[in-house]
Structure 1
């Protein structure tokens, strides 16, 4: 196979990765003249992979793709569970999502109501050269929103509708083809419960707890957190080991603002698409709901809409299941959702507190963390996570986020 003319930002790509990109590009039948690699996004937009845009120029047309590339540094791969993450996404894009859409087609679901995901042009699942090439949704006028700002009620409901569709297809598949569901479930790995299994977990949690506490003034707020971080994450591990019941689904697993793209016409939201499935695994639906709501919105927006959002999700779950002659009250009744809110509340609270120390950083501060990880020194990395390394704007954002989380979880009785 002839090698195409690669230009631009190809530093760090291995020969195997370039060979794979060459193969994928050749399958597009564009009579390619050149392929240009460009960096995409800023440091901190995606901690789990390096993201680039490929612009393909051909005699029979042009095409753009987004390429997610796994880090090669062993210390980063170990600390972020890179191999597990990319395997999950490989399985989701190549097997699970296509199967879900085929179920909808067979049930006669109209095209505009089917689960929408970025087209996968190719996925290389060979450590340490993992990469995945996806449709560039920017070309279809989808955009990423500001991670520092709360998502609107409209945007949250759009994501909840996506979750309801995704979860309903898990239930439909388990009902119609239980053996296939079991195969998918066994190939995927819940990533968040892996954190407490790390040898340096206790040290990491101690530093994160101190960083969070340093941003708080109210002693009541501090008492809700102090000495409890490790227990919150151990609870997550305990919940993940529960016997799989009929309520479990294949979750998206990492539904924060940068992992969803939105398309607007003027001020009107037309559609949202989830673009990251590295955190997918077998879990209860409530995890996706809590994780997204508390990582993507502020306390004021949650206070006005929280219970309406839960009811909206359940209504959409029932509507999507009705395409298969099924009912939400059988697979995931509202009273079970209420029970799961309480059971998962504390562990998601701890996870959101930890992420608040990461997601509110600007690109420069995020770069400091990545460089510390690359150096391999745990002490240097923990120092980078401390609040002392934050600029004043990040401190204000982080404090507001953390206080809002405490107030919301307290208001809704989730602690």
Structure 2
């Protein structure tokens, strides 16, 4: 490691990864004089990758990058399906996203309305040394919002516009180059289906759900929640066995920490999605439901949910028109409404699982991530017992789950 002019926090990056990072840095032609590594975010911001910021100083200028590094711990790699997740993200950054933007450019969509994503400086798709080096969006004044707070109406609408952009370009790709669409579809692996097909993981999900049910004394509520998490993964497997003619390439994991925002005023928000590890080809409403119910609270949803769905469909129509397509023929509103109900229980189950993980504070997330390194699945489940939650986390968790029940019920998305 001594041959690299590196400083800071890079001790847990192996020699092969450092070699690749150094190669990418040298390609920037900055005549580098100093490279400093520093951690990005806090524990719980990213459960699959180790994320570092790289500050580069040189005679020809300076540059900042963000590098996402795969875990070296074998048990953690198995539990988080690290190999699949990084392959998905590398496929998106090197093939899918550039292709979709190329289609938008050819269609004459103005640059400001084209799909935005962080510039990718390089990817190492080499097990177990995977990494992705990206543009540091903080340099463009984008920031990560508080995962414990609901996204605002303006922030949600910004993300919905991103969905309309990527989904519409997917429909255009499917129409103009169906072989390319199918190639991408086959390369992107649905991580939820992988979990649902793994007996050991499913046995752990049963225990996970049991832990969640212990929290709720209300018999009616506990009965409503029972089997929802486990059944969600069974649904993922079932859905994968059918062909959805409305499928699009989707981001797949749009919760607050996987989106960067630039807020210029109360109603002026830009957003860029930054994590594509769970990307897949699937029904468009999955992106919508996943984001809305993992990023907002019940009060905000009650005021805006139907307007959000209207806005997405309208934006999808606007984007499709650039490709000479009409939403009423591509993805009519009655089909969207039917799909929202079809996938309601599925997304509810995923949200229930994620509430246990995403609502933990930095200290708890640190303990959880440390436990993941060398634990068996059973030991990991023990580390996630609800009784060990601190009071503030338990309050957040209960509020999140009750809010999910109230919203899914109010919008007619939950089938008992």
Question: Same fold, TM exceeding 0.5?
Answer: yes
8 Å contact 2:154–2:266 — kept in the other structure? no
Q: Which runs of 5+ in 2 are unaligned?
A: none
Q: Report SS of the residue matched to 2:42.
A: coil
Structure 1 counterpart of 2:238: 238
RMSD: 1.3
After TM superposition, the structure 1 stretch with the greater mean CA deviation from structure 2, 232-241 or 78-87, is 232-241
CA distance in 2, matches of 1:192, 1:7: 38
Question: Is the counterpart of residue 333 in structure 1 residue 299 in structure 2?
Answer: no
Post-superposition Cα deviations, 1:64-123, rounded to whole Å, max 9, x if no partner, equal: 001000001111111111111100110100011111111111111111111110000111
Q: Report SS of the residue matched to 1:142.
A: coil
Question: Is the counterpart of residue 400 in structure 1 residue 399 in structure 2?
Answer: yes
* 1:220-231 alignment runs, 5 A limit: 220-231=220-231
TM-score, normalization: structure 1?
0.97
CA distance in 2, matches of 1:166, 1:231: 29
CA distance in 1, matches of 2:272, 2:54: 20
8 Å contact 1:215–1:398 — kept in the other structure? no
After TM superposition, the structure 1 stretch with the greater mean CA deviation from structure 2, 162-171 or 172-181, is 172-181
Post-superposition Cα deviations, 1:237-288, rounded to whole Å, max 9, x if no partner, equal: 111221242x110110000000011112244433110001111111000100
Q: Report SS of the residue matched to 2:57.
A: strand
Post-superposition Cα deviations, 1:35-57, rounded to whole Å, max 9, x if no partner, equal: 11101111100001000000001
Structure 1 counterpart of 2:10: 10
Post-superposition Cα deviations, 1:351-373, rounded to whole Å, max 9, x if no partner, equal: 00000000000111112211222
Structure 1 counterpart of 2:169: 169
Question: Is the counterpart of residue 80 in structure 1 residue 113 in structure 2?
Answer: no
Structure 2 counterpart of 1:32: 32
CA distance in 2, matches of 1:16, 1:280: 26
Q: Report SS of the residue matched to 1:264.
A: strand
Q: Report SS of the residue matched to 1:127.
A: coil
CA distance in 1, matches of 2:303, 2:266: 21
CA distance in 1, matches of 2:117, 2:229: 35
8 Å contact 1:207–1:386 — kept in the other structure? no
CA distance in 1, matches of 2:39, 2:239: 39
CA distance in 1, matches of 2:244, 2:413: 23
Structure 2 counterpart of 1:411: 410
* 1:22-101 alignment runs, 5 A limit: 22-101=22-101
8 Å contact 1:4–1:34 — kept in the other structure? no
Question: Is the counterpart of residue 374 in structure 1 residue 369 in structure 2?
Answer: no
CA distance in 1, matches of 2:267, 2:28: 34
CA distance in 2, matches of 1:141, 1:121: 19
8 Å contact 2:39–2:52 — kept in the other structure? yes
Q: Report SS of the residue matched to 1:217.
A: coil
After TM superposition, the structure 1 stretch with the greater mean CA deviation from structure 2, 401-410 or 196-205, is 196-205
CA distance in 1, matches of 2:3, 2:168: 44
Structure 2 counterpart of 1:182: 182
Structure 2 counterpart of 1:389: 388
CA distance in 2, matches of 1:381, 1:269: 42
8 Å contact 2:122–2:132 — kept in the other structure? yes
TM-score, normalization: structure 2?
0.97
8 Å contact 2:313–2:333 — kept in the other structure? yes
How many residues get paired?
Answer: 413
Q: Report SS of the residue matched to 2:343.
A: helix
CA distance in 2, matches of 1:206, 1:76: 19
1:3 CA drift (Å)? 4.9
Post-superposition Cα deviations, 1:184-241, rounded to whole Å, max 9, x if no partner, equal: 1111111122112223223322222122222323222111112443223201211122
Structure 2 counterpart of 1:363: 362
1:144 CA drift (Å)? 0.5
CA distance in 2, matches of 1:379, 1:181: 39
CA distance in 2, matches of 1:257, 1:349: 17
Post-superposition Cα deviations, 1:303-341, rounded to whole Å, max 9, x if no partner, equal: 111111111100000000111111111221111111111
After TM superposition, the structure 1 stretch with the greater mean CA deviation from structure 2, 102-111 or 350-359, is 102-111
8 Å contact 1:212–1:402 — kept in the other structure? no
CA distance in 1, matches of 2:158, 2:397: 26
After TM superposition, the structure 1 stretch with the greater mean CA deviation from structure 2, 212-221 or 64-73, is 212-221
* 1:100-139 alignment runs, 5 A limit: 100-139=100-139
1:407 CA drift (Å)? 0.9
Q: Which runs of 5+ in 1 are unaligned?
A: none
